[in-house]
Amino acid sequence: MGNSRTLKAGALSIVLAVLGQPLWAVCAVDKVTVSGPWGRAHFTVDVADDPQERASGLMFVAQMPMLTGMLFVYERPQSVSFWMKNTLIPLDILFVSPTGEVLAIHDNAVPGDLTPIAGGDGVQMVLEINGGLARRLGIGVGDVLQHPSFGPEAISPCVENSDS
């Protein structure tokens, strides 16, 4: 711990929903798609899926490119709580069910704040993105995330394109 984490950078774009465009178009381990009535956004993410990665999260990251973030993956649904110790940038924290539904959002978590940010019960994934971005995009409770970590019971599961 103590070293800066670097986030993978890639081509970043926001793609609003287009009728007929399949939701699985960008299913990849380093991508998360968030969909809602406002449209669709694609994020490039680092995945934190073990206790050590989840504990360090985005600590010591001085800046994060737009439309990137970190996806925290837990083995089972549970009650989770986050804090901003050693976090240098404001974050929006999306708490997500095992099916991909956004259960709660904490907007603009304050860097360095040690106050626990509770996500509630039944959380299996947490997406951290730049502070204020959820509101700017229109992301809300009830919207849906898509990522290979969600199983076949997901609202928007990753499937292979059989049309190619």
Please, what are the domains in the chain? 23-146 (2.60.120.1140)
The pLDDT value recorded for residue 5 is: 34
The pLDDT value recorded for residue 159 is: 75
Torsion of CA 104, 42, 71, 92, to 10 degrees: -40
* The amino acid at 79: S
Compare 161 and 7 and report the one with higher pLDDT.
Answer: 161
pLDDT band at 108 (very low <50, low <70, confident <90, very high): very high
Interval 61-74: pLDDT, tens: 999 999 999 999 99
* Residue carrying structure tokens 């737009």: 66
Least reliable range by pLDDT among 25-34, 103-112, 135-144: 25-34
The pLDDT value recorded for residue 11 is: 27
Interval 20-35: pLDDT, tens: 344 445 699 999 999 9
- In sequence order, what are the residues at sequence separation of 6 or more whose Cβ sits closer than 8 angstroms to the Cβ of residue 122? 77, 78, 79, 97, 98, 103
**CA-based radius of gyration for the chain:** 15
The pLDDT value recorded for residue 1 is: 34
Is 0.85 topped by the overall pTM? Answer: no
Of 96, 81, 77, give the one whose Cα is nearest residue 139: 96
pLDDT exceeding 70 applies to what percent of the chain? 81
The pLDDT value recorded for residue 26 is: 64
